[in-house]
Amino acid sequence: MFLELYRQHHFPNCPSRFQSICACDSIEQAHLWIKEFSANESDDIDYNIAIFQSDKFFKSDAIWRDLIGGNLSISTVELWSKNYWTGKIYEKESRIEYLLPLPIKVEDVIYPPFK
């Protein structure tokens, strides 16, 4: 929630995370995100990959978002929010995500097995 409030106040031209699709730029990255969101990595996950095409997108590093969730210092949360909304890449371990503002059209769907 703080990330959204920070965006509204300091970066109003950036898309809202609440009104966007979070996306990635490769099938390999999609697999990494799916593993992260699965309850148990050993589960066989049944999923499809939607392909979007858009000229409107915002690229950032999701690591900042995740770090914010575990920090109680308001000054650190503010700095990391700024890093997220300026698109700064976390140097140790980045996880790039794209926000695609809605509405957006699905161009294609890839069904398993993935190639």
pLDDT score for 31: 84
pLDDT score for 112: 77
Q: How far is CA 19 from CA 15, 101, 105, 114, in A?
A: 7, 6, 14, 28
Question: Residue type at 104?
Answer: I
pLDDT score for 42: 55
Rounded CA separation 24/42 (Å):
23
pTM: 0.83
pLDDT score for 100: 97
Rounded CA separation 67/86 (Å):
16
Provide long-range contacts, Cβ within 8 A and 24+ apart, for 11-18.
11/85, 14/58, 14/85, 14/99, 15/56, 15/58, 15/99, 15/100, 15/101, 16/101, 17/99
**Structural domain spans, the chain:** 2-41+57-104
Residues lower than pLDDT 50 in the chain = none
pLDDT in tens, 87-115: 999 988 889 999 999 999 999 998 877 65
